[in-house]
Amino acid sequence: MDPGAVYADTRRRLTALVRSLPPADVDRRVPAAPLWTVKDAVGHLVGIVDDTLAGRLEGVGTDEWTAAQVDARRDRSLDELIAEWEERAPDMEAAMGGWKPYAAAAAIGDLVTHAHDVRAAVGRPGDRDTAGVAVATELYSDSLGRRLHKGGFPALRLDTGEWSRQAGTGAVGATVRGEPFELLRAMTGRRSRAQIAALGWTGDPAPYLDVFSTYPLPAEDLVE
């Protein structure tokens, strides 16, 4: 797998979507990131590329780091943001093959997550069976496994009917079943605690609910 090519494919899919949106949708709030509009989400993604290429990685991933990216681009038009992304992203994509695998997967995972945040905000679902989604699912499954191991939890089996994967080490304490996209969104803070508990569980879900997601869970259900 060429991570740069996967990132580029995901970027182009999102760019095509947002270019097709009416102005009202560009300014629509994103339920998964309620402080942002759709344009702000794009600004964040463009800012990641700019900061990465410039080596501005202090505080990477923090709220302050991402807020600075959005604030710096808030007054730019969507067309200007896309132009910057299309100009700068190929340099990052060309370099990604030389990154550590986790770093490359993290860049793809963040892009996939926000691409589907945008799709949910504007009611345009799609692109749920792409290479980018596969990379993101593996990334966040591995992250879940590390949280389980660190917290001393029994391993958890993820079962989609298409594939099965163990998160964590040692004996399996429970199995959770769901569509691949639903499990991905649950692992990325895009499903509420109640929605995660309502997935198909064999075994007690309670020990896993607080560590299932890499990011904080929304208080209200998110439906896509």
What does CATH list as the number for 131-209? 3.30.1050.20
| Domain spans in the chain, listed from the N-terminal domain onward | 3-122, 131-209
**Average predicted confidence (pLDDT) for the chain:** 96
Q: What is the pLDDT of residue 1?
A: 83
Q: What is the mean pLDDT of each run of 10 residues along the chain (224 residues)?
A: 96 98 97 96 97 92 90 95 98 98 97 98 97 97 98 97 96 97 98 98 97 96 94
Show the CA angle centred on residue 9, arms to residues 35 and 112, nearest 5°: 30
| pTM for this model (two decimals) | 0.95
